[in-house]
Homo-oligomer: A and B are copies of this chain.
Amino acid sequence: MSKVRVAVAGYGTIGTRLADGVARQEDMELVGVADVAPTLPIRALYESGMPYRLFLVDAKRKPEFDALGIPVSGTFEELLDQVDVVLDAAPGGIGIKNKELYLKHGVKAIFQGGEKDEVADVFFHGYANYEKGIGQRFLKLTSCNTTGLIRAVDALDRMVGVEKIAITIIRRVADPGDTHRGYVDLLRPDAVPSHQAVDLMHIMPHVQATGLLVHTPVTHGHIINIVATPKKTVSKEALLETFREHPRIRVVRLADGFTSNTALFQYARHLGNKRSDMYEIAVWEECIGFSGNDVMFAINIPQEAVTIPETIDGVRACMVMQTDRLEAVGLTNKYLGLKPGR
């Protein structure tokens, strides 16, 4: 069986990780990545020997790349002619423009959370609604926070059923190195309900949700505290067991040194993961509580890489590589090295 041919449009924070993730899928071929300017990630691509082929969104800027000696394999449209599906990680609002090209070149596309819902046929999450994406032309992934949140709530929901949730999102306000946004020494709440709660209801319409999001001046991972009303009583140990069996959830302990969102990032550095990335959300064993029938638990969202597995699931769905949800996510997990029991 020939491999599904994939392109990545936009080689920034998300695009770099999408490329890494696709490159690890043995049943996919990363044909190339496309971008506009010789940004830091592209300079690093060059310095590390061009493991991925580079295509230019704007052919007129080729001299800038030539001057730096960065090899270019063609234009973005030439790339589109060589692939089956594009993972669009362009800055928010560009994807809708790119869609014209995708239609023109007859390729499928998966957009990231920064685009408006209307860009796609399906609002997609690999674990929660894989079936909806099967054979579709345009998918849109949930945002980083929502992807991680749904991962956890879907696991609980498949275990005992979830009636409603109320969440508190402690949001990292910038990625490391960002200079276009950021706050200093303040906590900034957004109006309730946060879009993550609304989006969860879109994907999981049988769950009622509200949420508050508070921006905080940190860069290494969001923390979401979830108060969930399950349909059946759930014990702490049973909940932990469910989370431990989930290949995209890592159960950790404060007592072991996982004392913060940044400790998780450090752990990924020490693992030697490329770009120090972590695909898994984390659940802290000591941060689970109960109030009446409600269960409360906290998760960590590594914002830079968390959507990669579910996006790759999207490739499997839209390209009809697998029709079974668990088979599909299982292959993604296998190629990404994601295993239960961590």
Contacts and interface: CB of A to CB of B under 8 A. Distances in A.
A311 interface: no
A323 interface: no
Contact of A176 (B189, B220, B294): B220
Nearest to A217: B184
A11 to B, nearest CB: 10
Contacts of A217: 182, 184-185, 216-218
Contact of A178 (B184, B191, B208, B220): B184
Majority secondary structure, A binding face: mixed
Given A174-B184, A184-B183, A272 B274 contact: yes
Interface string A264-296: 011101111011100000001011111110101
- Categorize the interface residue count of chain A: 35 or more
B291 A208 contact: yes
B189 A223 contact: yes
A4 interface: no
Contact of A187 (B16, B216, B229, B270): B216
A44 interface: yes
Contacts of A336: none
- Counting from the closest, the 9 A-B pairs by CB-CB distance are A44-B270, A168-B168, A210-B289, A192-B289, A191-B286, A186-B262, A185-B185, A186-B260, A177-B266
Interface of A: 16, 38-41, 43-45, 47-48, 163-166, 168, 170, 172-174, 176-179, 181-193, 208-212, 214, 216-221, 223, 225, 227, 229, 254, 256-263, 265-267, 269-272, 274-276, 284, 286-292, 294, 296, 298, 342
